[in-house]
Amino acid sequence: MTMPKVGVSACIVGQEVRFDGGHKRSGFVDGPLKNIFDMKPLCPEMGMGLGTPRPTIRLREIGESVRLMDDKNHIDHTDAMQAFNERTLPNLAGLSGYIVCAKSPSCGMERVRVMNEQQNGARHNGRGLFTAALMEAYPLLPVEEDGRLNDIPLRENFITRVFVYHAYQELVASEPGEHQLLAFHRRHKLLLMAHNQATYRELGRYIAISRERPMAERLAYYGERMMHALAKPASRRNHTNVLQHIGGYFKRELDTTERQHLHETILAYHDGQLPLMAPITLLQSLLKRYPKPYIEEQHYLQPHPQHLALRYHL
């Protein structure tokens, strides 16, 4: 697999493109993530023609629409931003993820301040105009804010989604046959089970009953349902179910003491006493002793580079 290409707000990787001539560098994004993703920095505000430093711009409701305004100088930048989006978005089809700058009127993903028309009050549920257009153009694309990546479960989930979406993009580009689609689904079964058991069952049935349909249609449906299922982090309960499912593959090889140890380790994770990596490590050691090809190929066991230590939190 090639390195996933991930778009990123340029200020997050240290480029001095903010309104005040500064940046908002994230040590995690511009550090560990830079080593596993091919980062593609972009600043929509610079791209639409604004320099730096520049007057502050913000979202403001005017009539039925949300506009991008420089209220100090009475300049409406909405049309310039929309033109930038129309020029730029078609060139982003190869991205496997995007990291945007929180609270930005161009890049914020959620909780962006939107002033009312009279400029005497605001709501805080807006979305930056570039990011809104990006998410509309590429609804399957994993998108996350820099600040939310400080939350470890959200961080793990975003990185997992980027790698899965990248693998899905490579599957689609390969013009797969039935065997390749089945192999892809087989590798991702337990990851789907951990995130959404209903979708896990649905996609298994769909692949079985849709063989007469065009492959492009099947791939589009599969990708939409898979990425929707992965959008929410896996719960501790679902992880526990998957771990117990994997453990069942070793019931004939393990003696009573080993089975009890595995059972207690999984329950300790379920109860918040051990991180997820504890039962995962135990199961991986069992796989070395008792190889199980189906389990060994599961993306669930290592959905992202292990050196990131994303599964070591309680």
pLDDT at 263: 98
Over residues 256-278, the pLDDT tens digits come to 999 999 999 999 999 999 999 99
**Is residue 23 scored above 80 in pLDDT?**
yes
State the Cα–Cα distance between residues 55 and 76, nearest whole angstrom: 12
Average of per-residue pLDDT across 194-205: 97
Over residues 41-74, the pLDDT tens digits come to 999 999 999 999 999 999 999 999 999 999 899 9
**Is residue 143 scored above 80 in pLDDT?**
yes
Over residues 281-290, the pLDDT tens digits come to 999 999 999 9
Please state which of the ranges 1-5, 7-11, 235-239, 256-260 shows the lowest mean pLDDT.
1-5
pLDDT at 11: 98
pLDDT at 254: 97
pLDDT at 314: 75
Which band of pLDDT confidence, cut at 50, 70 and 90, is reported for residue 128? very high
In the predicted model, what is the mean pLDDT of the chain? 96
Over residues 77-119, the pLDDT tens digits come to 999 999 999 999 999 999 999 999 999 999 999 999 999 999 8
Tokens for 173? 């580009």
pLDDT at 222: 98
**Is residue 216 scored above 80 in pLDDT?**
yes
CA torsion through residues 127, 191, 264, 262, sign: negative
Residue extents of the structural domains in the chain: 5-150, 153-314
For 217, counting Cβ atoms within 10 Å of its Cβ (0-12 exposed, 13-18 middle, 19+ buried), the class is: exposed
